[in-house]
Amino acid sequence: MIAVIDYGAGNIFSVKNALDHLGMESELTSDAQKITAADGIILPGVGAFPEAMRMLQKSGLIPTIREEAHKKPFLGICLGMQLLFEKGYEFEECEGLGLIEGSVIKMEEPDLIIPHMGWNRLERLNPCPLMNDLPEDSYVYFVHSYKAECEDKYIAAYSEYGGRVPALVTDGSTVFGAQFHPEKSGDVGLQILRNFGGLIK
């Protein structure tokens, strides 16, 4: 069973819909025991970094997430991916979950349309099991105004938008993060979720 963490942020139903469609068993939950008992964890999220951290703080789930993320496949999506890093700079400096070294900064380039909204191509940098069986030309759907800044070794794939935008990141072990929305990225996104399911024993 995959625990989809429900901490009051964003449209978590789309993630659930996609998992249902793929026949992957999942449950929306904010219960630490269920998260601990789950075989995999997804941290969704839409909105602002500090507000999301505050809501996670309030839910009391942060210690559970930090511990469980190293024990079983863990996928952060969009803001959920950004929260994996050590620090965020959306409106104010804010501590993240610190599961991957790096920070989250505003996308700022002259003449760059913000948010980065729409379909962009995945440019592969490092091997990652979530990219198994993807077509060479794989586009995924992004909506965000902030991006991760981290070492190349954590970046499985990036997209080009006013420079490199880390798209799929991993600690090389159990922690994964997708800046894009796999649940809204058509067949490519569904394959990525299927691959994530494949990691679950």
Residues marked active site are found at: 78, 181, 183
Q: Is 68 in the site for another protein (CB under 8 A)?
A: no
64 vs 120, beta carbon nearer another protein:
120
- What is the closest distance, in whole angstroms, from the C-beta atom of residue 160 to another protein in the complex? 5
Neighbours of 111 (CB within 10 A): 5
8 vs 98, beta carbon nearer another protein:
8
With CB under 8 A as the contact rule, which of the stretches 68-76, 97-105, 111-119, 172-180 interacts with another protein?
111-119
What string of H, E and C letters represents the secondary structure of 173-190? CCEEEECCCHHHCHHHHH
| Alpha-carbon dihedral angle through residues 115, 117, 123, 124, given to the nearest 10 degrees | 90
Of residues 55, 62, 107, 190, which one binds another protein by CB under 8 A?
A: 190
Non-local (6+) Cβ contacts of 194 within 8 A are 22, 24
- Length of the chain counted residue by residue: 201
- What is the closest distance, in whole angstroms, from the C-beta atom of residue 66 to another protein in the complex? 25
SS3 142: strand
89 vs 119, beta carbon nearer another protein:
119
**Which pair of structure tokens corresponds to residue 138?**
């794989």
Of residues 117, 129, 152, 173, which one binds another protein by CB under 8 A?
A: 117
Q: What are the distances in angstroms from CA 108 to CA 105, 138, 146, 147?
A: 9, 25, 9, 10
Q: Is 48 in the site for another protein (CB under 8 A)?
A: yes
Closest Cα to residue 134, out of 70, 181, 195? Answer: 195
Of residues 29, 64, 82, 120, which one binds another protein by CB under 8 A?
A: 120
Q: Is 184 in the site for another protein (CB under 8 A)?
A: yes
Chain residues binding another protein by CB under 8 A are 10-11, 13-14, 17-18, 20-21, 46-48, 111-121, 139, 141, 143-145, 159-161, 181, 183-186, 189-190
